[in-house]
A and B are shown apart, each in its own frame.
Chain A
Amino acid sequence: MKDHDAQPGGSVASLRERQAGLVEALTSGGPVPQGFDARLVDAARVALLRKRAGEVARQWPSLAAAFGERWVPEFARWAARRPTQGALRDGWDLARELAAGGDLPAVAGAELAIREAGWRYDGGTAPRVRRAPAIRSAAGSVAIQIAGRVRVVRPVRRP
């Protein structure tokens, strides 16, 4: 594909570069590219975060439900500078981060423990089904996986 040397308005950036700049503004907190209506681009950025929050809520219903009405703003705050890796991984990354800080609500523990026991997820590439048995816990819930079948064996009340 050819790059344009010059475009109306004196821009010399190629379509490829300009698309990258726009995606960065919408997903990573980059500046709004020159000439765009900053108010409208920001409205699109916020709408995108709201849409992502809905998609993650469908993959991680307990996680979203644990936040109640605060889910969309909480997720949007977390995701504002993180481009999506897909709803499954976005929710997984957030749940792990919360769990590591002791902030994962107990009602969302079983959901994370079940996924951790059933899948191997390195935090950077697509999760893969575990072949070996595994026991994982999160926020007081313990999930055990044997031969692909996962059960929550000990939903523990937090002190």
Chain B
Amino acid sequence: MTSSEYGVGIGWRPEIAGFVAELPGLRFAEVVAESVPARGDLPPGLDELRDRGVAVVPHGVRLSLGGADPVEPERVQHLAAVADRLGAPLVSEHIAFVRAAGVEAGHLLPLPRSREAVDAVVANVRRTQAALDVPIALEPIAALFDWPDDELDEGAFLTEILDRTGALLLLDVANVYANARNRGTDPAELLDHLPLGRVAYVHVAGGAEHGGLYHDTHTDAVPRPVLDLLAELCARHRPPAVLLERDGDYPPAAELRDELDAIAKASGYPAVT
């Protein structure tokens, strides 16, 4: 991944499969790992994308790498099988937990930035790496709240997890923006404290404000400050790929094309539209 540049990509979803199929310059896409069966037919459109030579990365959302309990082996095996059948150059997951005591949260939840949580994540990432033939990139999430007893700042927390696992970083600039905006801090400051050379690729997504808080919805347009933060990141150290995530309320194709073009412009990569 680090040796080649893929440029601008998009998260493949069934609802926009036709749009993605017609992007002439596309070389990089992502698919929600849990939506791809380990055997049998691939979702329509996904195999054509792979046959075209587009790198398709499985993006896990249900492993719960940050859970206090060990990752479920069946989920890890599924991720490995999907990576294998897609010929993916890497996989990605989140630094988060999604269930506890058998109850599904239905969303990615933040961890305390504590040594105990670092140990839990590291153990689960290592269990996952043991089943994978390709590298894993870890994505820090957007969260509306923090735990009350953080021992580490965000940069130190993430860097320690990456150092101890050898994992790559999937940096979501929309998450960085959302967290900083809601905490009243400077989003560019976190970039100073992350190992930018370890960024495998970048996520860009839209959001909206509700009740005085910025929500990373993936169902709204990408706001200008997120594109500005992407430009700032690329000025410091441009990652090999930048990917638009859209998960619902899909706009007309022209609007999606404009967002991809804006991402290309902010990152300096060629347009894929």
Contact = CB atoms under 8 A, between A and B. Distances in A.
B211 interface: yes
Interface stretch (A42-50, A103-111, A139-147): A42-50
Contact of B116 (A15, A35, A36, A44): A15
Interface residues of A, number: 37
Nearest to B117: A15
Given A15-B112, A47-B215, A1 B119 contact: yes
A9 B148 contact: yes
B265 interface: no
Contacts, number: 100
Contact of A44 (B67, B103, B145): B145
A15 B120 contact: yes
Interface string B210-221: 110101000100
A16 B68 contact: yes
Contacts of B215: 47
A14 B145 contact: no
Given A1-B119, A15-B68, A84 B104 contact: yes
Contacts of B97: 19
Contacts of A51: 106-107
Contacts of B100: 16, 19-20, 22-23
Nearest to A28: B103
B247 to A, nearest CB: 9
Given A11-B149, A37-B145, A1 B99 contact: no
Contact of A27 (B105, B112, B144): B105
Contacts of B114: 7, 15
Interface string B225-247: 00000000000000000000000
B151 A8 contact: yes
A54 B105 contact: no
Interface in B57-91: 67-70
B248 interface: yes
Interface in B183-203: none
Contact of A47 (B104, B112, B144, B147): B144
A24 interface: yes
A27 B106 contact: yes
A30 to B, nearest CB: 10
A36 B148 contact: yes
Contacts of B149: 7-9, 11, 35
